[in-house]
Amino acid sequence: MAVYTRLGAEEMDGIIAAFDVGTLTSAKGIAEGVSNSNWLIETQDTGGTSRRFILTIYESRTEVAELPFFLGLLDHLAAAGAPVPRTMHDGTGASHRLHRTPQGDKALALIEFLPGVSVSEPTPGQARAVGGALAQIHLAAADFPGTRANSLALPQWQQLLNDCGREGLESIDPDLARLVERELALLAANWPAGLPSGVIHADLFPDNVLMLGDTVTGLIDFYFACTDLLAYDVMVTHAAWCFTPDGTQFLPELSQALIEGYCAVRPLGDAERAALPVLARGAALRFLATRAYDWLNTPADALVTPKDPMAFARRLEFYADPANAGVFAGGILA
């Protein structure tokens, strides 16, 4: 359940009144999501037209100082025609406001509601469309003036996994510490430099994509967006979409469709293609690191159920296996 902040009816009325979006007619807490509190808001304007929005209250994992980057990026991408929600601005032109709560001031934003659902068993047609939409935001963000360092890059993976400790990792799986040590060393020695970089989504999992049939209607949850290698973002998306959720099965048709869909909009250069195997291992390790840390550090009575780190350890083993080198070679990228 992702509603961590309680809001009374009058309080909600006051929040919505600050934005020129009509009168509040309903507000429903949204169960999906783990990081922030979200509500589906409905309003009616003086002509009787109904409108829908998402109200987000940012909880502790999102830095308020970074909101101008995240929300400015949404406005920039939406203006360029990418399928991302616009932000509503209040009477002063601000895209986020501070709201007083018993736990202190919290930032909030009102965001355009987009139709669509998150698919749980994507088809190749849907993977192709997601690849295309990812390339579209990479191109559209090229003239976005904001930058943000990736706060979950190799040094932070090292730190998180170090904090887990050998015993902690081995309590998850007896072979996990060995896998992590091997991969951290390999990535530190081989992480590519000089590839095209720009603003990336960095977390484009199926639950962050809204779709109607084979059409992407919304890319959401840009709160890990940052400046990094574009091809790394392709591999994050590959790791998220091209396996069964538990990571036991690679789905080659989805892989081919995702990469073809991306390349149809933004072709990968030779150096990027050559780097895909190592970037894929990095992408798998990134989610293994945060999941392992959360697995070991989430209190038993927390509202959120930690996600299985082994699902990404299995992806990592897949990408590291020389027998699978063909996934990013020849045929699939032809």
Ligand X SMILES: N[C@@H](CCOP(=O)(O)O)C(=O)O
Ligand Y SMILES: Nc1ncnc2c1ncn2[C@@H]1O[C@H](COP(=O)(O)OP(=O)(O)O)[C@@H](O)[C@H]1O
Beta carbon nearer to ligand X, 28 or 61: 61
Instruction: List the one residue from 17, 30, 153, 304 that touches ligand Y (CB under 6 A).
Output: 30
User: d(Cα 118, Cα 127) in Å, to the nearest integer?
Assistant: 12
Binding partner selected for residue 203 from ligand X, ligand Y, none, CB under the kind-specific 5 to 8 Å limit: ligand X
Binding of residue 32 to ligand Y (CB under 6 A)? yes
**Which region, left, alpha or beta, applies to residue 205 given φ > 0 means left and ψ of -120 to 50 means alpha?**
beta
Q: Which residues contact 41 (CB under 8 A, 6 or more apart)?
A: 16, 24, 26, 27, 52, 53, 54, 55, 110, 113
Shortest Cβ 29–ligand Y spacing (Å): 10
Q: Which of 113, 191, 205, 250 binds ligand Y (CB under 6 A)?
A: 113
Q: Is 150 an interacting residue with respect to ligand Y (CB under 6 A)? A: no
* Residues numbered 80-99 forming contacts with ligand Y, rule: CB under 6 A: 85
Binding mask 17-36 for ligand X (x = CB under 6 A): ----------------xxx-
158 scored as a contact of ligand Y (CB under 6 A): no
**Strand ranges (DSSP E) for the chain?**
23-29, 37-44, 50-57, 97-101, 104-112, 197-200, 209-212, 215-219, 226-229
- The yes or no reply on residue 114 touching ligand Y (CB under 6 A) is yes
> From the list ligand X, ligand Y, none, which binds 85 (C-beta under 5 to 8 Å, kind-based)?
ligand Y
**How many other C-beta atoms are found inside a 10 Å radius of the C-beta of residue 227?**
17
Tokens of 4: 């961590």
Find out whether 28 and 40 touch, Cβ atoms under 8 Å.
yes
- CB closer to ligand Y, 212 vs 271: 212
Residues 6+ apart with CB under 8 A from 10: none
Residue from the set 122, 218, 282, 309 that interacts with ligand Y by CB under 6 A: 218
Among the listed residues 208, 237, 255, 256, the single contact to ligand X using CB under 6 A: 208
DSSP code of residue 84: -
- Does position 287 interact with ligand X (CB under 6 A)? The reply is yes
216 CB burial (10 A radius; 0-12, 13-18, 19+): buried
Give whichever of 35 and 156 is closer to ligand X, judged by the CB atom. Answer: 35
Range 290-309, binding ligand X (CB under 6 A): 290-291, 307
Rank residues 43 and 290 by Cβ distance to ligand X and give the closer one.
Answer: 290
Please tell me the distance from the alpha carbon of residue 82 to that of residue 134, in angstroms, as a whole number.
9
End-to-end CA distance of the chain: 44
Contacts with ligand Y, residue ranges (CB under 6 A): 2, 30, 32-36, 38, 54, 85, 111-114, 118, 207-208, 210, 218, 220-221, 223
